[in-house]
Amino acid sequence: MRFFTCLLPAAVLAASVLPGRACAQAAPPAPTATTTTAPAAAPATTGAAPTAAAAADTARENLKPEFFGYVGVYYGYDFNNPASLTRPGFIYSENLHNQIAVNLALLGARYTGQRVRGTFAIQTGTYPDANYAAEPGIFKNIYEAWGGVKVAGNLWLDAGIFISHIGLESPNSRDNLTLTRSIMADNSPYYEAGAKLTYDKGKKWLFSALVINGWQVIRDRNQNEAVGTQVQFRPSPKWLLNSSTFVGEGRNVPDSVGIRLRYFHNFYVTYDPSKKWKIAAAFDAGWQEKLDGRGGYDKWQGGSLIVRRRLWERAGLVGRAEFYHDPSGVLAPTRAGGLRTTGYSLGFDYLPVPRIILRAEVKEFIDQNEVYQQGKSFKRTNGAATLLMGLTL
């Protein structure tokens, strides 16, 4: 009861300050999109005999799912040469050192009808190994599993396991402006489980309200649900503004441990001034109760600015500057408490054929404290180089 007493007013307050995705991501560097915002295979019929109305509805639907897939293979080198062969613990994508590995391989089907839609996709790779480590068994291999029905006009009800409604970046490198993810993306939800109502008013507005199991949770360990909102606005074809919120218990621990409410807001904007340029900016802010609400709040913030320049039809350069400030270590704990890091990256993309993308990126992090391990000592900086080949099926 205390949870919902705190939760509902906070959700209303969060929604009231939104500036205006069912999880739309930044426009991909490749001309072929692969993943997930499109919907999957139609559900099988049950043994019950259909009514005449249901049979008519089925006849109007085009019961042909679209199959899709993606494989992203990478090589990463961390210049601190970690003995664990992994990048720092707050990195969940392309996180292995000095080896060739599959970050994400997925295969799925989606279906979009006049009144029914859905997606089912399975995955494997180092990304789910790292980011789904807390999920039991088979759930680690589920990329998406959801179905939806149009309840009225432009209003859809969807339920299942989704790509998160939060953030500019997705798990699939091909769908992002940069090869690797920012710190703020790797430390906010990539997926969620629950139900959502989405009102999609054509090309300009999209509104979503969600009830989900928690902060990036499929199998919940407590009885405290979370809520979220999303508002997306396209004032013109060149601009996209997105605001997403989360309010709920964020740690997915048993009820006996106690509730610490988490409040989170993500905002991003993308701008396409011309065919050669694309600009994206994002900002996160989060608060979490200390000691079950008796000691104030731990706070964190993150931000990124990305600029991409097309060099010619099949190639481009992309640069990123970012910061992440989590002094209490709520999401990114370190030996000094938490991250106080800035970062820079520069990447090159090349598409030799439409279904293949080749990407290269160099990146450096600089922290206020000596938190990056090198051998038996620690230093303030961490650098890495990453190569990736992505295949769209």
Amino acid of residue 162: F
Over the stretch 127-138, which tens digit does the pLDDT of each residue have?
Answer: 999 999 999 889
Q: Give residue 55's pLDDT.
A: 52
Contact partners, residue 64, CB within 8 Å, separation at least 6: 111
Q: Please, which residues have CB within 8 angstroms of residue 81's CB and are 6 or more apart in sequence?
A: 97, 98, 374, 375
Alpha-carbon distances of 379 from 115, 182, 373, 383, rounded to whole Å: 56, 20, 6, 11
Q: Note the pLDDT of residue 375.
A: 87
Give the integer Cα–Cα distance in Å for 288 and 226: 13
3-state secondary structure the chain: CHHHHHHHHHHHHHHHCCCCCCCCCCCCCCCCCCCCCCCCCCCCCCCCCCCHHHHHHHHHCCCCCEEEEEEEEEEEEECCCCCCCECCCCCCCCCECCEEEEEEEEEEEEEECCCEEEEEEEEECHHHHHHCCCCCHHHHHEEEEEEEEEEECCEEEEEEEEECCCCCCCCCHHHCCCCCCCHHHHCCCCEEEEEEEEEEECCCEEEEEEEECCCCCCCCCCCCCEEEEEEEEEEECCEEEEEEEEEEECCCCCHHHCCCEEEEEEEEEEECCCCCEEEEEEEEEEEEECHHHCCCEEEEEEEEEEEEEEEECCEEEEEEEEEEECCCCCCCEECCEECEEEEEEEEEEEEEECCEEEEEEEEEEEECCCCEEECCEEECEEEEEEEEEEEEC
- Domain spans, the chain: 2-39+66-392
pLDDT at site 102: 98
Judge contact between 64 and 198, C-beta under 8 A.
no
Sign of the CA dihedral running 4, 10, 14, 16: positive
30 close to 174: Cβ distance less than 8 angstroms = yes
User: What's the pLDDT tens digit per position in 297-311?
Assistant: 999 999 999 999 999
Q: Which residues pair with 277 in a beta bridge?
A: 309
Classified by CATH at the fold level, domain 2-39+66-392 comes out as: Porin (2.40.160)
CB atoms within 10 A of CB 53: 8
What pLDDT is stored for residue 17 in this prediction? 36
pLDDT (0 to 100) of residue 259? 78
The reported pLDDT for the residue numbered 4 is 40
- What residues contact residue 372 under an 8 Å CB cut-off, 6+ apart? 80, 88, 365, 378, 379, 380, 381, 382
Q: Tens digit of pLDDT per residue, the chain (393 long)? A: 444 443 334 333 333 333 333 333 333 444 333 333 433 333 343 344 455 554 555 555 657 899 999 999 999 999 999 999 999 999 999 999 999 999 999 999 999 999 999 999 999 999 999 999 999 889 999 999 999 999 998 999 999 999 999 999 999 999 999 999 999 999 999 999 999 999 998 889 999 999 999 999 999 888 888 999 999 999 999 999 999 999 998 887 776 677 789 999 999 999 999 999 999 999 999 999 987 556 789 999 999 999 999 999 999 999 999 999 999 999 999 999 999 999 999 999 999 999 999 999 999 999 999 999 998 899 999 999 999 999 999
Phi-psi sector, 250: left (phi>0), alpha (psi -120 to 50), beta: alpha
